[in-house]
Structure 1
Amino acid sequence: MAEPTLAIIAGAGVLPRMLSQALRATGREHLICCPHGLEPELPDNESTEVEEFFFERSISFFRSLEKRGIRQVVMVGKFHRPRSINFMRLEGSTLMAAPRILGSLRRGDDASLRALAEIIEELGLEVVGVEAVAPNLLPEPGLYASRVPSETDRSDVERAAYIVEAISAVDVGQGAVVAGGLCLATESLPGTDAMLEWVAQTRDQPPAGTRSGVLYKAPKLDQDRRMDLPAIGPTTVAKAAAAGLAGIAWEARGALLLDAERTMAEADRLGMFLWARPSLR
């Protein structure tokens, strides 16, 4: 068995499991590592031990990966900003890098992830994205449920795509909800689920038995696509349905379809469309 040259830095959610399965299917050996306190979801038969590391000692941890023959790092899943730092645990090398990381947190998620990637690469590792190691996880253009979007749906998707592009220019969010050409909500720090819950609580619901409006998701303008790609999964479908939406669209090859079979089956059950749409540009 070949020694692993790739390490997955695993956040919360199903994506670490999906990526590990995709890598194993191609025979790519890998390590799985996660920040202290996170419990990534892994396959039931996953034999790889998860290595945990502390934020306060992250620089020495990444240096140890390089010394062990790891050449590439891919960061997937949901990561939470550190709410506090244990100064008793803090090492000197991480202390020197902390101002760069903590300072970037004030400029948005993309800025903070870029800063972290730069630091990791300064330690001799290459930060890669899902597209580089498991491109099949990014859906190609097409429909992924039985329902076909109407002309009104397509118009709403186009409107939402331009709105997402506008808010992404200031590193705010990756999603928007539009119905009848009107923007009902845009994604911000609380995330997609919170946005959809707010729409469900505040919008005028369409007549019984009908749906209207769309959720659209896409990477931010000039986003570093190695990290924090938008994702759609079963929970997204359920919350979009509760908000009365007709379907979900996203930028093809720019978003991840989580638990694809479950997500597509749920969309079919609820009578919603799933559309991987070519990008605006």
Structure 2
Amino acid sequence: MSAGTALRARVDTDDIHAVPLRHPWRWVSAAAVVVLTALFAISAAGNENYLWHTYLKYLFDQRISKGAGVTVLITLVSMVIATAAGLLAAVARMSENFVLRYAAWLYIWVFRGTPVYVQLVFWGLFTSLYPRIGLDIPGVGLLFGVDTKPWFTPMVSACIGLGLNEGSYMSEVMRAGILSVGQGQREAAAALGIPRGKMMRRVVMPQAMRVIIPPTGNSLIGMLKTTSLVVAIPVSVELYVRVRDIAGVLYQPVPLLLVACTWYLAMTSVLMVGQHFVEKHYARGDARASSGRQRRAAADEDGEKA
């Protein structure tokens, strides 16, 4: 038995009368929140202006559920585009080539500095601005040309517009995650002859994911709600557009907006649960290291006291 353990064993626990610190205002505030929430729920349930019968009628309407599926599809595709664009912009921002560095900065500056609704309007007008895209070399002629209308459908324009806008924000998230990995690990990988691409995949990115995942999850949830802005293109089968069209026919916007809010809450709740488990997966190594450091620190402290 060490000296520190023997010293703690001699302490008579019967002489210790620990009194927990009381927090009466916590209970008062909690009770106030419960009462106010209950009062609001009772008031809303009895308010005929909400038109709850219309809400229940259209909550699981087939048009609404299909619109929710389209919303999820737009969100996932746009997030894939945003992740790819963000990663490329982040790598370009850290490049030693000043052309790539300033091109990435220009992309981030433009897409972060202008409203996403305005950007979606321009993407909706893309086929009018550029009805045909091709490579025309002076003196040689047109090498090839493609009509844009069959390719840039409203769905495609919505995904590209949302993805490139979100990619400008994701680039800073990616850059922060990459920079969070110590320079020494990159130098060690370079000293071992590991190619830069493999180093990013095997050394840097697995550690950077701990920093990247939380804000990326928030961006995904924000993207899900931002899809309501594709009304600017418009995508006629998206959830909010469906709700708006039905409300326009019924002249009852409130219950249909509640239907939309319910679907958005359900979808974001699923994404939040998924984000929790992904964060937990990438934080496992860090949690083990942290607990090990804490045990060593506690052992050192006991040795100093002894």
TM-score range for the pair, normalised by the shorter chain length: under 0.3
Return the TM-score normalized by structure 1. 0.22
More strand by share: 1
The structure number with the bigger radius of gyration is: 2
Query: Greater relative contact order (Cα 8 A, min sep 6): structure 1 or 2?
Result: 2
Return the TM-score normalized by structure 2. 0.21
